[in-house]
């Protein structure tokens, strides 16, 4: 499968777009991580985006087409917007915490390059949503194995589409929605095992994989999220009623809300949307499969963007 960077250059060539990328050095290392622009790098607002794929698969052309449409439609409004897609390293060759280190390095680069925190939105789907939550955790609680990540002021927002909040599969929605979703339980266990170094053989089923505070958000108590309102101004979490993650995300909502609510004046700035009849990452998958159509599950995300861009 072509890498995220190869997919990006192929997409740009096919659409006669000049590729524009960053190479950001990793702290205390000779290595770099790449990130690729969709839209004008000088836009008022940048969406730092982490693609899904179980930490094992590259960002595909479908993601690029989806975010190109978002950028094109939103740039007719109050503020200009661009997306910066992180080409994070993939498991099993690269394992946790490498992806978190790369995400933090690019966020820090944006801020030290002159962007204010309020000019940045974090976004991710599936494993990318897991990475957004890991990055927010990293800001709230310095990671023992990584450099401290400090942010002055609040990020403008965070968007999570069908986030992977637990590696466990005990929730009823795994049984109820197995036939209505694109996610297979064994596949997810393999991905988690590769990402967290729990399996020497990538093809083997490692069984239940146990994560930690930065990788498995659902295991954290509500107090873990206390103070998050001082890090990010608002959060939208979208998920589908018909996905295997549905019940886990619903459980996470209660914990996340309780943590956000403690001391937060703007309790309505955290929004969870559960769309009836929709499956995993369907706002993106729907556009990949039917680019000429747009449903309420897609419109709700665009309207959220418009609301926080006008603020």
Catalytic annotation, residues:
126
Q: What angle do CA 256, 260, 264 make, to 5 degrees?
A: 165
d(CA 258, CA 262): 7
d(CA 39, CA 64): 11
Query: What is the full DSSP assignment across 71-128?
Result: HHHHTTSSS-EEEEEEE---TTTS-TTHHHHHHHHHHHHHHHTT--GGGEEEEEETHH
HEC letters along 199-260? CCCCCCCCCCCCCCCCCCHHHCCHHHHCCHHHCECCEEEEEECCCCCHHHHHHHHHHHHHHH
């Amino acid at each position: 499968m072509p890498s995220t960077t190869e997919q990006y250059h192929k997409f740009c060539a096919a659409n006669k777009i000049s590729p524009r990328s960053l190479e950001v050095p990793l702290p205390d290392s000779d290595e770099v991580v790449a990130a690729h622009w969709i839209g004008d790098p000088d836009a008022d607002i940048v969406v730092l985006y982490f693609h899904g794929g179980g930490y094992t698969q590259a960002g595909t052309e479908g993601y690029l087409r989806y975010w190109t449409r978002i950028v094109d439609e939103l740039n007719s409004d109050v503020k200009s917007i661009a997306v910066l897609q992180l080409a994070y390293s993939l498991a099993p060759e690269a394992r946790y915490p490498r992806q978190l280190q790369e995400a933090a390095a690019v966020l820090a680069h944006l801020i030290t390059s002159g962007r204010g925190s309020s000019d940045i939105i974090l976004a991710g789907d599936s494993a990318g949503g897991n990475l957004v939550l890991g990055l927010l955790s990293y800001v709230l609680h310095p990671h023992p194995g990584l450099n401290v990540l400090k942010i002055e002021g609040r990020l403008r927002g965070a968007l999570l589409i069908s986030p992977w909040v637990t590696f466990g599969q005990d929730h009823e929605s795994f049984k109820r929605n197995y036939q209505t979703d694109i996610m297979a339980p064994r596949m997810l266990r393999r991905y988690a095992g590769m990402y967290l170094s729990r399996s020497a053989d990538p093809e083997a089923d490692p069984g239940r994989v146990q994560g930690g505070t930065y990788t498995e958000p659902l295991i954290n108590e509500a107090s873990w999220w206390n103070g998050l309102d001082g890090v990010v101004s608002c959060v939208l979490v979208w998920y589908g009623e018909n996905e295997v993650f549905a019940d886990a995300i619903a459980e996470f909502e209660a914990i996340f809300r309780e943590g956000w609510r403690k001391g937060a004046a703007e309790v309505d700035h955290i929004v969870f949307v559960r769309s009836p009849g929709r499956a995993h990452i369907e706002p993106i998958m729907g556009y990949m499969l039917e680019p000429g159509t747009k449903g309420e599950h897609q419109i709700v995300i665009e309207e959220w963007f418009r609301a926080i861009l006008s603020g």
